[in-house]
Amino acid sequence: MGLQLNSNEIAALLPHRFPFALVDRITDGEPGVWAKGRKCVSVGEPVFCGHFPQEHVMPGVLLIEAMAQVGAVAILSLPEYAGKIVYFGGIRKARFRGKVTPGDVVELECRLIQRRGPIGVGAATAKVDGQIVADAELTFAIGE
Give how far Cα 110 sits from Cα of 35, 36, 92, Å. 6, 7, 14
What is the 8-class DSSP label of residue 136? E
Roughly how many angstroms between the first and final C-alpha of the chain, as a whole number?
30
d(CA 47, CA 42): 10
Active site residues: 51
d(CA 142, CA 85): 6
Those residues whose C-beta lies under 8 Å from the C-beta of residue 99, and which sit 6 or more positions away, are 57, 58, 133
d(CA 39, CA 41): 6
